[in-house]
Structure 1
């Protein structure tokens, strides 16, 4: 069973004398989406009509978003839900109500993993942003890229409970830096496709030893005007694929030992790099703003779901910023 997400506003009146700007800082996020549609996609979780009522699904989902935005572990998030009025307001937790424990938040996330919901939820978020003309579909470009994420569990041997310290589903990501020095990272690779505004349209997570180019077809949308990518994706197969789909080829060329790049290709690569740099935006957000340079969980499925939640969190936060800066077309015409 599920508790209702509806709250009684008067139960928040005790906070009315506090700084309203702080308590309203997530109002644009509240107004951005049709949240009941999100809730309908979460409905299969705890769908039974028997047993003790669970927390509202949107309360749990919004809690996970807060944990990503504010770089909180489940334990820290549960503590913040107890004492932070802004968090309670966003999650519709009345002042006299209990809050989800860390174990409850973890079980809810595990249900997202089990039901493979993250990509469905990301698609719904993006569809809603498209319907509000925040994400533009017509004439959009797609910038694809990948970044290694270090596995937090990379030690040898087993822990106290006999579980391996090293994540068995991760792999070694090996890459040369700009100075030709080899850098190895044990973990996963996050592959994303973003538009020119930095909204994430497609994403996948693989073991670190999977080459970037192997996720090319996962990230191609099929309706983009142009595909931008670094030289890791450069191949005749890629060029043929883009020609077949009618997508402009803006993939950097690469030279070989006995076949160096021509000056024309060097100039072309430099021009492409200006736009292609936008593909780094989600990685900067994940690692610098959300503290996700290392994984928090063991296993591919859990990490794919967690970084999927991070993609939603990034798009929602960016969409809310657009809403504050520009408003929505329907809001301007009616008001």
Structure 2
């Protein structure tokens, strides 16, 4: 656990008011299942320094710094800078100026690469969801399905003189976007993300439909776009009808938005059904709001899908804890 503040942090400890950052970190310090997550990473974390040199940084310190990076959208160099600049972040990471080493940007980078190499961010996501399930928060009664576009830098003014080849363009409404998509399956009761997939932006939402369902749902909710696969070899309506028939044969609820026929108007009954579905589906927007507004993840940070996909698992795991923190604290 982090060390108690010594003399360098005494003045900060005497403050009469906590900042929003301090309050946020204090809450997350309590709700993160540290023991479970550290046990997951420990078998892959080096026990000795490179070439028999200085021992590696504390695993818990590095995990805490990694979480700080994701909460505050920090690059590796900026994460190092903030550890020198912010007493609240140092205290959260268990660092005291003057008597502890502060991880530099290379050490922070290497830790992130270790998590990516062993696919540990996906395991962290699963472990957090297991923790929520053990606390009776996720009930798995129904799934909300949706996707969001995450922009990638479109400029070619970089070292390679080219855009990221693993990102692509897609049109939404009248606007074009370049980047990737995060597809999520959300628990209808708790609003937490239980499944996640990442694709390039041009991949239609319906292509990852099956990956987002856990198979135990009594209901599924989605916008109409999820069932209209852009495939010339199939009729779009048939694809929708096929999935609906397969899902509802046991009396399950098919909460996919109704869509007007081409060139026609939506039936008034279908309009009413869509309003009910929209009220249920509103909860699926909460994880995206946390991702983009609370954590500031509005653009991809790395090149390639694999690294960005790995980060998304961490972000949504932390987002789940943030969304239900009041229940966990209670």
Q: Shared topology, TM-score over 0.5?
A: yes
Match of 1:215 among 201, 208, 230: 208
Contact 1:222 1:245 in 2 (8 A): no
Contact 1:7 1:94 in 2 (8 A): no
Q: CA deviation at 1:170?
A: 0.7
May I ask how many residue pairs the two structures share in their alignment? 309
Match of 1:111 in 2: 114
Q: CA deviation at 1:113?
A: 1.6
Match of 2:100 among 72, 97, 102: 97
Q: CA deviation at 1:245?
A: 7.4
Cα 1:104/1:164, change in 2 over 3 Å = farther
Match of 2:145 in 1: 144
Q: Distance in 2 between matches of 1:10 and 1:314?
A: 28
Residues 260-279 of structure 1 mapped to structure 2, 5 A cutoff: 260-279=265-284
Q: Distance in 2 between matches of 1:299 and 1:277?
A: 31
Query: Aligned-residue CA RMSD in angstroms?
Result: 2.4
Cα 1:256/1:74, change in 2 over 3 Å = same
Residues 177-196 of structure 1 mapped to structure 2, 5 A cutoff: 182-196=174-188
Match of 1:128 among 107, 120, 131: 131
Match of 2:71 in 1: 69
Q: CA deviation at 1:236?
A: 2.0
Q: Does 1:250 align with 2:255?
A: yes
Contact 1:67 1:73 in 2 (8 A): yes
Mark the runs of 5 or more structure 1 residues left unpaired by the alignment: 1-5, 177-181, 328-335
Match of 1:226 in 2: 219
Match of 2:291 among 286, 290, 296: 286
Q: Distance in 1 between matches of 2:122 and 2:312?
A: 10
Q: Distance in 2 between matches of 1:246 and 1:202?
A: 24
Contact 2:5 2:96 in 1 (8 A): no
Q: Distance in 1 between matches of 2:17 and 2:134?
A: 30
Match of 1:55 among 54, 57, 61: 57
Contact 2:2 2:91 in 1 (8 A): no
